[in-house]
Amino acid sequence: MKSAITAFWAGALLSLAAMPSLGQSSADWVDIKSATELQALYSNKTFKGKDWMDRPWVGHYRSDGQGILLFEGGRYPRTWQVTGNDQVCVKALTGPACYRFQRHRTKPGVFRNINVANDNMVEFTVEDGVPQF
């Protein structure tokens, strides 16, 4: 039960309580509207970011649609898939969530996602490779 509650709050903190990046204009960001680019963004990649309370999290995503979120000492499995040309939908213990993505115009490897349901944004970096999970 405790792990389910922790998983719920981990998902809630990362997707519902994220704050948009301050001090950066919308001109700094480019919408990703290509299913191919979104597939590449998630295929064998590691995402790293911080939640609104400045707590680090790491997400590992394989090209087969499997992923895992590491947050506050917990490991939370998830699956992902590209939906249309402009969204990735993630299923986790907390339920499904879909996101649109933007890449930073001048900073390679810096992205942000926008939750389709509530427009909350999370900024993160993306690196090649994932560990075994």
Residues 6+ apart with CB under 8 A from 101: 31, 32, 38, 41, 86, 88, 111, 112, 113, 114
For 15-46, the DSSP string reads HTSPPPPSS--GGGEEEE--HHHHHHHHTTEE
**Which is more confidently placed, 22 or 75?**
75
CA atoms of 131 and 68, how far apart (whole Å) = 10
52 pLDDT band, cuts 50/70/90, is confident
Closest CA to 122 of 41, 18, 27, 31: 18
Per-residue pLDDT tens digits for 9-50: 444 434 433 444 444 578 999 999 999 999 999 999 999 999
Domains of the chain: 2-128 (2.40.128.640)
Cβ 17 vs Cβ 8: under 8 Å: no
pTM of the model: 0.80
